[in-house]
Amino acid sequence: MADGQRELLDRLRINRDDEDDEDGANRWMIIGFGAACVLAVFAAIYVFWPSQAAEETVAVAETPAAASGSTTTGAPPAPAGPSADGVLSASGYVTARRLATVSAEITGRMQEVLVEEGMAVEAGQVLARMDTTLAQTELGIAEGNLKSARGTLAVANADNDEAQRALLRIRGVKAREYASVAENTRAQAAAEASVARLTQAQGGLRSAEQTYARAKALLDKHEIRAPFAGVVTTKDAQPGEIVSPAAAGGGFTRTGVCTIVDMNSLEVEVEVNESFISRVKPGQKASATLDAYPSWEIPAKVAAIIPTANRDKATVKVRVAIQTGDPRILPEMAAKVIFYDESQETPPSPQGK
C-alpha cells in the first residue's frame, strides 16, 4: 500500500530540471534575436552613412560659393565680408540711376507705337501717337472763337474811336453854347460805354487766345516723346489700347507706353554689413565683376553711401559707379564688388570674352 502511494506522489511531483532546460532555450532564443537586431542596425548605418556624408560635403562646398557673391536670380545679395583681394567684397545688382516709364498725360486710344525693345531713342523723339480726332475738333472750335474775338475787338475799337470823337464835338459846340447839357451828357455816357465794351472785347480776346493755346497743347500731348536719350527696355502698349496716366476705366487700361533707361547712368548697388561699413568711403577705388562675365573686371569707385541702415538686415546700401561704358552691362545683372585700400592700385581691366 505504501509503495502505491509513493508511486502516486512521484507522478504528482514537478520536474524542475525539464523547466530549467526549457527556460534556457527561450533565453538563448531571445539573446539571438537581439543580436540579429543589433547587426541589422549596424548594417543600416554602414549603408546610409556615405550618402549623408556626401550631402554634408556638398552643403559645405556650396556655402563658400554663396558667400562669394554667386547668388541666383531673385535671391537677395549675400552680406558683405572681407576679401582676400581687397579690404572688402560685396554682392549686388546693376541698377540705372536714370530710367522712366513713359506715359501719356491724357487719356486716349493708342493709334501707333513707334518703338520696340532694344531701340535707342533721342531726347524729344516721338515714341507713340494717340487718336487726335476730338483734339483736332476742339482746336478748330478754339481757332474759330479766337477769330471771332479778334473781330469783336476791332468793332469795339471802332465804336470807341467814334464815341470819343463825338464827345469832343459836343464839348466844342457846348463851349460856344450851341449844345445842351443833355446832349453833352449823352455823348459822355456813350464814350464811357464804348471804353467798357473795348475792355470787354480785349478780355474776350485774351480768353480765346488761352483757349486756343490750351487746345493746341492738348493736341501736342497726343504725341508721346522721349524725356531723355536712352534705350527702350520694355514696350507696354499696343495700337488700339486705351492709355491713361492713372489706371481708371477698366483693368485693361494701360498706364505706360514704354520704359527708357539711360545706359550711361548704370551703377552697382550693394549692401554692406554694418560691421564693415567703416572700410568704405566715398570716392574709394573698387572693381566690379558681373556673374555673366566672371573674368572681366570693371573699374569702379564708390559714388555714395546711403545715410541710413536697414534695421532688419543690419546693412547699409552703397552705390558704386561704373567707370567703363559697355553694351554688355545691363540693368538688374548680378555683380560682385571688391573695395580696395586707398594705397592699392585698381588692377587693370582685361577684356571679357
CATH of the domain at 277: 2.40.30.170
Rounded average pLDDT over 182-193: 78
Tens digits of residue pLDDT in 268-319 = 999 999 999 999 999 999 999 999 999 999 999 999 999 999 999 999 999 9
Same domain, 146 and 212: yes
How many domains does the structure of the chain reveal?
A: 4
C-alpha cell at 211: 483757349
Rounded average pLDDT over 221-247: 88
Read off the amino acid at residue 280.
V
Diameter of the chain measured on Cα atoms: 195
What per-residue confidence (pLDDT) applies to 54? 40
Is residue 83 scored above 70 in pLDDT? no
Whole-prediction pTM: 0.59
Same domain, 216 and 144: yes
Same domain, 291 and 327: yes
Q: Which residue, 261, 282, 314, sits at the end of a domain?
A: 261
What per-residue confidence (pLDDT) applies to 22? 55
Length of the chain counted residue by residue: 353
**Structural domain contains residue 352:** no
What per-residue confidence (pLDDT) applies to 37? 77
Rounded average pLDDT over 209-216: 93
To which H or E segment does residue 245 belong? none
Same domain, 193 and 121: no
What per-residue confidence (pLDDT) applies to 59? 37
Residue 201 lies in domain: 132-221
Is residue 256 scored above 50 in pLDDT? yes
Is residue 9 scored above 70 in pLDDT? no
334: nearest Cα among 88, 67, 72? 72
**Structural domain contains residue 92:** yes
Same domain, 204 and 173: yes
The rounded distance, in Å, linking the Cα atoms of 69 and 92 is 8
The answer to whether the beta carbons of residues 228 and 184 sit under 8 Å apart is no
Same domain, 217 and 140: yes
Which tops the pLDDT comparison, 34 or 47? Answer: 34
What per-residue confidence (pLDDT) applies to 76? 46
The rounded distance, in Å, linking the Cα atoms of 261 and 332 is 12
What per-residue confidence (pLDDT) applies to 350? 45
Lowest mean pLDDT among 101-105, 116-120, 189-193, 319-323: 189-193
Which tops the pLDDT comparison, 157 or 45? Answer: 157
Tens digits of residue pLDDT in 123-178 = 999 999 999 999 999 999 999 999 999 999 898 888 888 888 877 777 766 555 55
What per-residue confidence (pLDDT) applies to 194? 86
Write the burial class of residue 353 (CB in 10 Å: 0-12 exposed, 13-18 middle, 19+ buried).
exposed
**Structural domain contains residue 215:** yes
Tens digits of residue pLDDT in 327-338 = 899 999 999 999
Same domain, 189 and 322: no
Share of the chain above pLDDT 90, in %: 45
Same domain, 43 and 17: yes
C-alpha cell at 187: 455823348
Same domain, 109 and 228: yes
Rounded average pLDDT over 113-123: 92
What per-residue confidence (pLDDT) applies to 13? 61
Same domain, 122 and 136: no
262: nearest Cα among 95, 125, 92, 127? 95
Same domain, 145 and 33: no
Same domain, 151 and 280: no
